[in-house]
Structures are given as C-alpha cells and as structure tokens.
Structure 1
Amino acid sequence: MKTNKFLTFLLAAGIIFSAGSCNDDVLDEIDTNPNSPEDVSLSLLMPQVTVNIPTAVTGTDLAWYSSVYVRHTAGAHGQLQEADRRSGQEASSVVNNVWNNIYAGVLPDLNLIIQKGSEGGSEAGSNIHVGIAKVLKAYTVAVATDAWGRVPFQEIGKGSDLRKPKFDTQESIYASIQTLLDEAIADLAKGGVNPGSTDLIYQGDVAKWTKAAWSLKARYYNRLSNIDPQGSATAALNAASKGFTSAADNFTFNKYTATAIGEHPWFQESNDRAHHAVSDAFVSTLSGLDDPRLTAMVKPVPSTGVITGFPNGAQTNDQASTQYSDPTVTVLSATSSMPLMTYDELKFIEAEANLRLNNATEAFTAYQAGVSAAMKRQIGATDEAITAYFAELPQSGAALQVEDIILQKWIAFWLFQPFEAYNDWRRTGYPGLINEHQISAPPLRFAYTTSEIAANGDNVPNVQIYTDGVWWDDKTED
C-alpha cells in the first residue's frame, strides 16, 4: 500500500512537471480530461488532486509572474525579465498552462470526486473525500477568478455536453466559493471513509481540513474589503475564530522529494531556468527593518560575500547568479514545503479586519501574533529575536496602519505565496511597486489564455490588463 501511494505521487508529479514544458496548444478544450477518469477510484484521485493543486495551481507560472510583479523577486533572465520590463504581458500564452491545468485537469478531477463520493455515486458515503474536494475546489476556483476576473464556473464539468461554458461574474463566483466551503464543512462533519495517506496534505485529518475551510472563508471574506468594508471584516473575523489555532494547522503541502520528477517547482525552476533573483526591494526593506529573516533567507553573492538584490526592471542578465542574490536553502530546496494558507496569514487577516472595525487593541494583538508566527515558520526565529524585531515596528494599536499589516504579510508571503501578495497589492495598493527602471505598474490581472480564446472565444471577456481591475478590486465586472 505504501509503495502504491508513492508511485501515485510520482506519477502525478511527473504529469505536472512535464505539462509545464509542453506546447501551449496541447490542450485546446476545457473540461476535457484526456485520461477519461470515470473508472478511477477515489483512492487514486485523492493523491492526484492533493499534489496537483499545490504544484500546478499554486506553484508555477501564476506565482512566478506574481513574484516579479510584487517585487519579491526580479526577472534576471528570459520571460521573467520581460515581465519585469512589462513586455508581452498582454500575450494570451503567458499563463496558458495554468488555465489548462485548472480547467482540463484539476476541476474535472475534483468534480468527479464529489460526484462519486456523494449520494448516488459509485462510492457514496465518502463524505470526507467530498468535503476535501470541495475545499480544494473553492481554493482553485478562487485562484482562477482572482487571476482572470470572470471565469467559467456554473457550466464547467459537463464534458462533451457543453464545450463552450459561459463566464460567470466574479461576484457570483465569490458567493459560490463561500457556499462550497460551507458544504465542505458539513460534509467533513458527516464522517465516513477516511482517505488517510492518499490525502497528501493533511492525511485525512478532518479537524485540520475543517479549520482550513474556515480559514479560507476568512481569506475570501477579507478579499471583499473594497466591496463591503465593515461586513467583510465582521464575516472574516467570525470565520477566523473557527480557523487555524496554531502553525500546526497550516494548509501546506510537504511531500516533495529529491528526485527529478518530485522536486519543489520553485527549486526545479531555479535549476532549469534560473529566471529569478531576489529583488532589491525585498533586500532593502528587510535591511531597513533590521529583519533577521534577511540573512537567513537570502544568500550573499559568492564573489563578494554581500547580499545584493536585483533591481526590478533592470536590463542586466544574471542567469548564472554571479551578481545578485538567490534564496538560501533554508527557504528553497528540493523538498521545501508549499504553503497554500498559514496561521500567520490568518492572524494578519484578523488584524486588518479589526482595524477596519476600529478595534485597535485587537488589531495590534493579531498583528504581533502574525509577525511572530511568520518569523517562526520562515526561519525558526527565537522569542528573543522576535521581541527585538518588534522594536522596529508600530508600538501600539493607535499607531498601526493597514500599510504596516500588508507589509508584514508581503514579507511572510515570500517566496512561495506571491500570488496572494499580488492580490493584496491590487486590493490595498500596498506595498508600493514602482521604481525607476519600470515602464509601468504591474497589470491588474492576467490575460485570458490562448487555449480558451481558441475554444470559447465568443464568451471570453474583452479586457485591458493594465486598466481593468477585477470586481473585488474596482467594484466593476468585465
């Protein structure tokens, strides 16, 4: 049984990583699963989705482009350097593979788990599997709508019966995300067959999946801060009270292996392409705060022994990493974890929500808890180091501003959650992301993809990525 689980993981990882290198036009229809998984059991589908989502949805192109947009990293070579110079970001091929992974792989598999495990399905009574699939579906659909705005949702999963699904409004999708998470919580509470080790995230721990669902609810309520400042804050705090209670609950994938097909995608990108260097914005920010995470997370340049950030938007090519710094092995290795949501993020959400409700004391307490949890998660910081660092930060709730919270979230999201930092920047404007080398500010969304334009062009919204925000950002739909 152990061998089968391991082989399933390697097979899934191999499919993911090879998909990232294939031509963008390989998949030209959404909702088409080339593996025809109707006869695949839940015990095989579960490891597939619990490795595919952290890797192909969270860990590749959307993250890599977002990273240079938010100045976690800088483009040192190739496409990421072009992204830093704002060249070609309107192209429909930029993140085509992520769209295909979501709509031709992940969502069909999740819908199949829900169908097979629910009443009337071939493995009815598998309520825990269904609950997990609904949590993951909510997370995946949120990534899609946050990246592109209006996307297909209500009409997906119908296969050959509906090849050209309509694009739903982001407002309706966000309501559906909350409904999915509510259903997931109810399904998890029903019990039944436990996926155990085939669940590569929480190993079938129902309590942790339930906390993850509540924590995601808090994230997605808080995302609506521009739509309903007070209501979103109240709803986020209510959900957060049932979410993660410590870092032990973190929604994290930690099953990467030191093998060619099982490595962390960021590690593989670093070895195969090396298109990133650490941004000078990240280096200078942490240096200015005397943040102990800087020396723990960023390497000195070998030839000088000095930590040196790459200026975003500069023309210098440093694919060989001889002039500018890379992450340390403390952060980036073949077997690094991939966080999808963490306890420290939840505390920062609580801090921001309380600040919107004028609960200054509660906001400050949550803010300090978020900073402490992030420092311990990222570098194993001691209590003494954390206390010393607090001297560089706001000293009271009265002094705390939204910008302070988002800045610390931005640091906490480095290196593997830049897409969430990108969402925060679009929502709040923090931190500021313009410097003297850049042609323009980052785009406000990602361009719709080649495969979808080819297969469903009549339904694809016509948007300008540098001026048209998504609904939760500018309060308008496409």
Structure 2
Amino acid sequence: MTFKIIRITSLLGLLLTAGACNEFVDINSDPNNPTTPVLELLLPATQVSMTGSLRDVNQGTSVLVQHLYTNNASRNFQDGTDYQQSWNGLYTQVLNDLEIIIEEGTRQNRWDYVSIAKLEKAYIYSIMVDLWGDIPFTEASKGNTVSDPVFETGATIYDKLFTLIDEALADANKGAFAIQPASADIIYRGDKNAWIRMGNSLKLKLFNQIRLVQPEKAKTGINALLSANAPLISANTQDFSFRFGSSETPANRHPWHRAEYQASKSYYMSQGFIERLFNNDDPRIRYYFFRQTPNYTVGFTPTGNGYFGRYTGDPTASPNDNALKATVGVYPAGGLYDNAPINNIPASNTFVTNTGATGAPKVVTNTDGTGAGVFPFITNAMVKFILAEAALTLGTTGDARQLFQDGITAHLNSVNTISSTSGNSAPAIPAASITAFAANRASQFTAADDAGKLTLVMTQKYIALYGNGIESYNDYRRTGLPVLPAPIAPLNTFPLRLTYSITELSTNANVSSKADQVQTAQQTTPVFWDK
C-alpha cells in the first residue's frame, strides 16, 4: 500500500537524477537478442519515471502557489527550459512505456497490467492538460511512428480521458488481477480494489475540475458516482501516492530533502505560507518547516522566531544564509521535526504551543532526516475536499460541513502517518488535538456565508496540498482561493499555463513556425476549464 516505504533501490536510485529513467526505456531491448517486453519490469519503471518526471512541474507550481520560494518563478517568470525535463520525460519515457504495456498486455490478455497502465496514462495526460492546455494526445500515443504529433485541445482530451478511465475500470474486471510479484506495482502492490478506487477518484477530480465550464456534466457525473456507490479513496491507506526511500547512495529520497539537506540549498520557505500557519494556530507548522536558527530578525523575517523565509516576488539577491533560513520538515519531505521552542507564540494558542518543546534548531546536513517522504497524487483528504466543494457549488450529494471536517482530519492523520513511518523522530499530533482542530475549523465553516464556506474549504485544501503544488495551482486558477499576496516585484502576470518544452516547439512541425507566439500565449491563455 502507499504507506509502505518502497526500497527497490534498483528503480528508485534513478528517480531524481537528470533523465531519471532513461535506463528503463530500453529495459527489455537487446539489439542482438530482441525479447518480448516484460510487463513486471516495465510497470514499476513507469511509476518511478512518472514521479521523477513530475518533479520540475511540482517544484515550479509549488513556488507559484507560494508553498516555496525561488527568485524568478515567484516573480511569475518562466521560459522554455523550466519544464522541459518534465515534458520530455513524460512523453519519451513514461507514456511511451505505458503504451507498450497496454499493447503487450492486451496481446497477452493481462488485463490487470492494461488496466493499471490506462489509469496511469489518464492521470498523466489529465495533469499535462491542466498544466499546459493543448498538448499532443492521440498521435503521441503512436510513439515514434509519428514524428510531429498534432496538438489537441484540452477539452477534447478530457472527454477522451473519461472514456479511457471507463475502459480501464472495465479491464480490471475482465480476468484475474494477479500482479506478480506484488512489488511490480510500487504504488498499490497489485491491489485491484485500490486501483478501482483510484480510477473513480480520478473521475471525481476531473468532473469537479470542469464545473465552471460544464456544470451540468460535472454535477451529473459526480452524482452518478455517488448514487452508484462507486468506490472512492475513502481512507488514508488507499491514497494514490508515491513513497520515497531513505537511501543516499543510490539516491531515492524525496527531492526536497535532497535539495535542502545539504550545505547549499535550492529554496527559501515561503514566508507568507509560514505565517498563514503560525497566525492560525495550525499544528502542521512544526511538521512542514524546520528552523536552523531560533531567532532571525535581520533581512526578510519580521517575527524573530527563526522562521526565516522570503515573501513571494522578493527580488533581493541571496546572501550567504544557507545556515540560517528555515527549511523543509518531516512532512512531506522526510526531513526533521521541529521540536524547538518558538518565540512570540500568542498566549491564546491551543494547538501551537511550547509544551514539551525541548529540542533545538540546528544546521541540517544529509545525515539529518531520512528523506523517506511522500508525493501525494490523489488522497483521501483531497477527495473529501473535492466532495465538499462540489456540494457547496453544484449541490451534489453530501454534507459539505462534514466533508470539510473529514478532509482536515484525514490530512492531519496523514501527516502523523508519514512522519511516524519515515524513520524520523516525530511525535504524533494527539488524537484529541486533531479532533479539536477539525471541530474548530468546522465551527468557522458553520458561521460563514456561502462564499466564506468555499474560502475555508479551498484554504484548508491548499494547506493540505503542501507537497503537491500541481493540484494547488489547478485550484487557485479555477477558484482564486485562497487569496495569495501579490509578488513584491513581478516580472510578468501570473502564468495561466506553464511554458512548453523548447525542444517540442522547435522540432514539432505543427508549431515550430509559430513557436514564439505559442510560447508567449501560454502566460495569459487559460486552460479550458478556467473561467
């Protein structure tokens, strides 16, 4: 299941290096002795490669939604190289191998492999539409037989993805679902029911995604899932997510841990996000961030409590402050839990206090924490928040308040689980605190008007999505919630799509003649579901 730390180092060692899974592209090919593709080797390769290929877009979108800070991205600047590795890796590695699994699995009547591959394919293409808008789809699935695949509209592709998901769910019931060895499916260990829940939950997410432009289709689709009692992800153990390992050599740790738990660091923590948690008495602050110093008031942090980050769009050059700035914590990156006293905690706080805070800040190294974190793709908490949003905005079945409260509870429990199973020393958020915190937010929900209720749902989902900037970027463009501070010194407008791979634009004859025009339009052209 997803909470079991995967230690297949022969696969995960390739995860976060450049060209993460090139070794897998020809895993079954020997030019002197051709062989049939081996499904049990290709499938885990796609799951590793999918996670690795989403690294750069997850980093970029996490900066855009102010979960993290890097200079240019936080000022809304992007170019054709920023997400090139993600684009190229998804098309040339993951999706290519998934097509091989679908074709070979169909030939062998291995519908279990076919079903999983189709669901992975649907998930990846949905994310690519969400991020880039118009992309190659039908002709891209033909591999090297088409050198210049046609770009299709996001709306057209979404319609095809609904069909693809239904095909995958039907395939799952065609024959024995018997992935052997179970480790050939890194994510769900060959659990048929888990993949069915994932497929239905993906449909739910996509229906909700289109609610602004196709409200009736969205409402009908969601209610159909609910009235049919279609199994959804409804427990944290069913999350569609990827667990990282703890190995430094070969490297299979969470990418944020690898980037931060060293002398040089890739990010600042987002000061606005830190203050959102600090000012709202959110217990996740000690799990999300680790302070390297107890008190820092010079520069960018006004609180004097060691939470030294940067506000979005700050154009100031980076001084030699790697040993001072706050860094990622135990969730989701598998770093350290911050158990040091915090200055300036309001006396009225209930959930963030200094009771039992006996630790001390320290300058982190690669021996601190394990890196055995998580990339949450679609989770129980996300499903609850989606259902709450749909109930509020579409009138779908469900008690929005209870779903909102359940989403908060699910995520706090997930923080506990990831922290306790990552090999790090992190105390659990007490069950009584989880119950009280969720009830406190639910009381705010009850007191709010309809607009306030939606703001609360999207704000709590935004906080819970730390570690998945992609989905938070989707939500922010779709709802404008939560309200984020404007960049201090923006270089451009907020990007409504990510930039295309410069390689694709320069080599694909369908767009190469107008590459500059197409790329420029990405900044200001909404995806089809963004109204």
Shorter-chain TM-score tier:
0.7 to 0.9
**2:288 is the counterpart of 1:297:** yes
What is the TM-score with the length of structure 2 in the denominator?
Answer: 0.78
Distance 2:447 2:160 in 1: 35
- Bigger Cα displacement from structure 2, 163-172 vs 449-458: 449-458
**2:194 is the counterpart of 1:208:** yes
Distance 1:255 1:194 in 2: 24
Query: Match for residue 29 of structure 1?
Result: none
Query: Match for residue 347 of structure 2?
Result: none
Q: Is the 8 A contact 1:378 1:412 kept in 2?
A: no
**2:134 is the counterpart of 1:150:** yes
**2:248 is the counterpart of 1:259:** yes
Query: Match for residue 422 of structure 1?
Result: 473
Q: Is the 8 A contact 2:245 2:373 kept in 1?
A: yes
Distance 1:68 1:318 in 2: 20
Alpha-carbon displacement from aligned partner over 1:382-423 (angstroms, at most 9, x marks no partner): 332133323255242864522211111110000x20110001
**2:530 is the counterpart of 1:473:** yes
Distance 1:395 1:159 in 2: 49
Query: Match for residue 312 of structure 2?
Result: 312
Query: Match for residue 379 of structure 2?
Result: 342
Distance 1:434 1:337 in 2: 27
Query: What amino acid maps onto 2:38 in structure 1?
Result: S
- Bigger Cα displacement from structure 2, 274-283 vs 197-206: 274-283
Query: What amino acid maps onto 2:459 in structure 1?
Result: L
SS at match of 2:127: helix
- Regions of 4+ moved over 6 Å: none
2:63 to 51, 62, 68: 68
Query: Match for residue 450 of structure 1?
Result: 502
* Alpha-carbon spacing, 1:250–1:360, altered in 2? closer, same or farther (3 Å): closer
Query: Match for residue 9 of structure 2?
Result: 10
Q: Is the 8 A contact 2:172 2:192 kept in 1?
A: yes
- By how many angstroms is 1:318 displaced? 5.9
SS at match of 1:339: strand
> Any unmatched runs of 5+ in structure 1?
1-5, 27-31, 76-80
Query: Match for residue 344 of structure 2?
Result: none
Q: Is the 8 A contact 2:14 2:252 kept in 1?
A: no
Distance 1:265 1:72 in 2: 15
SS at match of 2:377: strand
Distance 1:182 1:143 in 2: 18
* Alpha-carbon spacing, 1:318–1:112, altered in 2? closer, same or farther (3 Å): farther
Distance 1:113 1:443 in 2: 35
The within-5 A match list for 1:61-100 is 61-75=56-70, 81-87=71-77, 89=78, 91-100=79-88
Alpha-carbon displacement from aligned partner over 1:31-62 (angstroms, at most 9, x marks no partner): x95667573310110110122112322xx110
Query: What amino acid maps onto 2:471 in structure 1?
Result: E
**2:94 is the counterpart of 1:106:** yes
Percent identical pairs in the alignment equals 28
Q: Is the 8 A contact 1:274 1:319 kept in 2?
A: no
Q: Is the 8 A contact 1:277 1:325 kept in 2?
A: yes
1:46 to 43, 46, 49: 43
- By how many angstroms is 1:70 displaced? 0.1
- By how many angstroms is 1:115 displaced? 0.4
**2:56 is the counterpart of 1:55:** no
The within-5 A match list for 1:324-403 is 324-333=325-334, 334-358=371-395, 362-379=399-416, 380-389=428-437, 390-392=439-441, 394-396=444-446, 399=449, 401-403=453-455
Q: Is the 8 A contact 1:360 1:398 kept in 2?
A: no
Q: Is the 8 A contact 2:385 2:404 kept in 1?
A: yes
SS at match of 1:308: coil
Distance 1:20 1:289 in 2: 41
1:163 to 147, 151, 155: 147
SS at match of 1:125: coil
Distance 1:299 1:15 in 2: 27
- By how many angstroms is 1:210 displaced? 0.6
SS at match of 1:346: helix
Distance 2:86 2:200 in 1: 26
> Any unmatched runs of 5+ in structure 2?
1-5, 30-34, 296-304, 335-370, 417-427
SS at match of 1:18: coil
* Alpha-carbon spacing, 1:323–1:249, altered in 2? closer, same or farther (3 Å): same
Distance 1:238 1:293 in 2: 35
Query: Match for residue 111 of structure 2?
Result: 127
**2:498 is the counterpart of 1:459:** no
Distance 1:397 1:243 in 2: 29
Distance 1:35 1:167 in 2: 29
SS at match of 2:188: coil
SS at match of 2:69: strand
What is the TM-score with the length of structure 1 in the denominator?
Answer: 0.86
Q: Is the 8 A contact 1:344 1:373 kept in 2?
A: yes
- By how many angstroms is 1:247 displaced? 1.0
Q: Is the 8 A contact 1:153 1:168 kept in 2?
A: yes
- By how many angstroms is 1:309 displaced? 3.4
Q: Is the 8 A contact 1:345 1:409 kept in 2?
A: yes
Query: What amino acid maps onto 1:61 in structure 2?
Result: D
Query: What amino acid maps onto 2:83 in structure 1?
Result: V
Query: What amino acid maps onto 2:440 in structure 1?
Result: A
Distance 1:192 1:283 in 2: 49
* Alpha-carbon spacing, 1:83–1:398, altered in 2? closer, same or farther (3 Å): closer
* Alpha-carbon spacing, 1:410–1:127, altered in 2? closer, same or farther (3 Å): same
Q: Is the 8 A contact 2:332 2:375 kept in 1?
A: no
SS at match of 2:258: helix
SS at match of 1:312: coil
* Alpha-carbon spacing, 1:432–1:254, altered in 2? closer, same or farther (3 Å): same
Query: What amino acid maps onto 2:278 in structure 1?
Result: S
* Alpha-carbon spacing, 1:362–1:331, altered in 2? closer, same or farther (3 Å): same
User: Which structure has the larger Rg over C-alpha atoms?
Assistant: 2
Query: Match for residue 484 of structure 2?
Result: 433
* Alpha-carbon spacing, 1:228–1:437, altered in 2? closer, same or farther (3 Å): same
Query: What amino acid maps onto 1:294 in structure 2?
Result: I
* Alpha-carbon spacing, 1:233–1:84, altered in 2? closer, same or farther (3 Å): same
* Alpha-carbon spacing, 1:85–1:33, altered in 2? closer, same or farther (3 Å): same
2:238 to 217, 225, 249: 249
- Bigger Cα displacement from structure 2, 432-441 vs 347-356: 432-441
- By how many angstroms is 1:20 displaced? 4.8
Query: Match for residue 285 of structure 1?
Result: 276
Q: Is the 8 A contact 1:99 1:449 kept in 2?
A: yes
Alpha-carbon displacement from aligned partner over 1:318-365 (angstroms, at most 9, x marks no partner): 675334321223432221122111000000000000001346971111
Distance 2:14 2:463 in 1: 32
Query: What amino acid maps onto 1:112 in structure 2?
Result: I
Distance 1:266 1:426 in 2: 24
Distance 1:168 1:378 in 2: 39
